[in-house]
Amino acid sequence: MTSMAVEYNGTTGVADDGYSSGVHNLNIFYDTGHMTFLTICSVLVLLMIPGVGFFYGGLARRKSALQLVLLSMLSVAIIGFQWFFWGYSLTFSRTGNAFLGDLTQFGLMNTLGEPNGSPLLPDILLCLYQGMFASITPALAIGAVADRGRMLPALVFIFVWSTIVYDPIAYWTWNANGWLFKLPAYDFAGGGPVHIASGSCALAYSLMLGRRAGYSTNAGLPYRPHSVTNVVLGTVFLWVGWFGFNGGSALAMNLRAVMACYVTNLAASCGAISWILLDYRLERKWSTIGFCSGAISGLVAITPAAGFVTPWAAVIIGVCGGVCCNFATKLKFLIGVDDALDIFAVHGIGGMIGNILTGIFGTSTIAGLDGNNYSPIGWIQGNWIQLGYQLAGICAAFGWSFVLTCIILFLMNLVPGLSLRVSAEDEDIGIDDCQLGEFAYDYVELTRHVTDADRTVSSSSSAANEKTGPNAV
């Protein structure tokens, strides 16, 4: 059993260490059940990040797979510091304006026991939980470097982009002082700050990098995902972690969190079924990649709506997410951008679909499962203007992320040593070889040119001779 928490009696509304009440045992202000739940949700969101790496690495070519796994984990490390340094303060400080927070909590000073985001959470726990959101967002976007992007510029970009792009959008959406929060544009768990922002970032990064060698405007590159097993593994990590991503966004262990978890799983299931059936109609084969892509699309679409919609609405959202994202994979051919992993199609379009449908199916009865009172939310409650507010949030997130990403990358590419793309020779060799010197699989070195049968045979024969020669060990 847990005892009832004492109402916080310290100063509020300013950055404070939590000790102003004169009470030295700050634990009395918080229920351990809520804190345990949010801590577990933080770990679940962290689990999603290597899931992104495996998902992207499996979709890529063998000779560039390891880079995508490494970049996902480096996103955790870089944003772990950035969030401590000033990211959390810029996003969740209490005294910012309508556009951006201030540095009153720079370096996590005065960030400990005062409630933030919810009267049920201490500042430091909100920092931990939201820091995982900040970490996964650039990890989702950075897959755009697949097969052709250099490592160092990508690492610099993650820090700069999170500061200039992610932090403001998250502030607008989730900070009580943000202009989208006040509008209000409803976004439960990150349709705008996470998915639209990362999807539009990936689109801009792909545009600024240029097409991969051998790219065709009507068929892309003739490469299939090199490891479907890794794609499935990544999907499992993401699907499981999404319970913490959406459920934890209730910021407490309550019925709203439980409902968010339920509709998350339901939408993922419906998205997976929708996508795999659409692919089956074309080839009369059951696509594992299609199933995984559809599940992720459903998860993305339900993200902004999870704390606002009923289960029957989640079915519609999952189906719409799977169908719309499936067809959106053709957009890259229409606009001629080599989005190698369809990040914009799944995350950008999926986030937009979810935000729009939140304005249609959102209901105060579901939001009120956390014990608070809410005004009518969506069209099903007669709040017709809400769709306009949701569209404002979509346009703001897309426009800010896409334009600022292009500007950041353009300026970085002018800096000596920060050119975005590897040379043509390095691209042919493979990013893992030229940038990492390590490989996802030990036989990549022996069969580096996997699309050239003559070279493959030659390399394999040469390697066999080396291993069987007089000096073999």
CATH number at residue 92: 1.10.3430.10
| Owning domain of residue 372 | 32-417+430-434
11 exposure class (CB count in 10 Å sphere: 0-12, 13-18, 19+): middle
451 occurs within a structural domain: no
Q: What angle do the packed helices 349-361 and 386-414 form, to 10 degrees?
A: 160
pLDDT(267) > 60 = yes
| Distance (Å, whole) CA 46 – CA 222 | 33
How many beta carbons lie within 10 A of that of residue 352, not counting itself? Answer: 28
pLDDT(431) > 80 = yes
pLDDT(97) > 90 = yes
Number of domains in the chain: 1
443 occurs within a structural domain: no
In angstroms, the Cα distances linking 95 to 163, 166, 186, 384 are 18, 19, 22, 32
pTM of the model: 0.91
pLDDT band of residue 312 (cuts 50, 70, 90) is very high
pLDDT(376) > 60 = yes
48 occurs within a structural domain: yes
pLDDT(237) > 90 = yes
| Distance (Å, whole) CA 307 – CA 35 | 19
DSSP state of 115: B
Of the ranges 8-17, 250-259, 388-397, which one carries the lowest mean pLDDT score? 8-17
| Distance (Å, whole) CA 219 – CA 330 | 10
pLDDT(466) > 50 = no
State which H helix or E strand residue 219 sits in.
Answer: none
**Contact between 284 and 264 (Cβ < 8 Å):** no
Average pLDDT score over residue span 297-302: 98
Span 284-296, pLDDT tens digits: 999 999 999 999 9
pLDDT(250) > 60 = yes
388 φ/ψ angles, rounded to the nearest 5 degrees: -65, -40
Average pLDDT score over residue span 366-374: 95
pLDDT band of residue 15 (cuts 50, 70, 90) is confident
pLDDT(1) > 80 = no
pLDDT(139) > 60 = yes
Percent of the chain with pLDDT over 70: 92
Average pLDDT score over residue span 369-384: 95
pLDDT band of residue 129 (cuts 50, 70, 90) is very high
| Distance (Å, whole) CA 74 – CA 255 | 35
472 occurs within a structural domain: no
Give SS3 for 246. helix
Q: What integer pLDDT is reported at residue 3 of this predicted model?
A: 55
**Contact between 79 and 161 (Cβ < 8 Å):** no
How many beta carbons lie within 10 A of that of residue 79, not counting itself? Answer: 27
Of the ranges 57-71, 268-282, 404-418, 439-453, which one carries the lowest mean pLDDT score? 439-453
Torsion, Cα 313 317 319 325, to 10 degrees, reads: 180
460 occurs within a structural domain: no
pLDDT band of residue 24 (cuts 50, 70, 90) is confident
Q: What integer pLDDT is reported at residue 459 of this predicted model?
A: 41
406 occurs within a structural domain: yes
443 φ/ψ angles, rounded to the nearest 5 degrees: -95, 5
Q: What integer pLDDT is reported at residue 463 of this predicted model?
A: 38
Average pLDDT score over residue span 459-465: 39
**Contact between 56 and 234 (Cβ < 8 Å):** yes
86 occurs within a structural domain: yes
Unique residue bearing structure tokens 């951006």: 100
223 occurs within a structural domain: yes
Q: What integer pLDDT is reported at residue 471 of this predicted model?
A: 36
| Distance (Å, whole) CA 44 – CA 124 | 17
Torsion, Cα 316 265 322 402, to 10 degrees, reads: 110
pLDDT band of residue 457 (cuts 50, 70, 90) is very low
Average pLDDT score over residue span 297-301: 98
Average pLDDT score over residue span 395-420: 97
| Distance (Å, whole) CA 202 – CA 340 | 10
Helix locations, 329-452, DSSP H? 331-335, 343, 349-361, 364-367, 386-414, 424-429, 431
How many beta carbons lie within 10 A of that of residue 334, not counting itself? Answer: 8
- Give me the chain's average pLDDT, please: 91
